Amino acid sequence: MRTHLIGLRKRVAREAAILLYTSQEKEYKQAKKRATQTLGVRVLPSNLEVAEELDKIAEETEGPSRKERLLRMRREALQIMESLRDFHPRLVGSVWRGTAHQNSDIDILSFSSDPTVVLAQLQKSNFRVARAEWSAVTKRGKRESSFHIHLALPSGDEAEVVVRSPEKMGLFDKCEIYGDLVTGLGYPQLRRMLEENPLQKFMPKQG
* Domains of the chain by residue range: 2-62, 65-196
CB atoms within 10 A of CB 31: 24
CATH C-level class of 65-196: alpha beta
pTM value is 0.90
* pLDDT score at 3: 67
* Spans of the chain below 50 pLDDT: 207
* pLDDT score at 206: 60
* pLDDT score at 137: 79
* pLDDT score at 207: 47
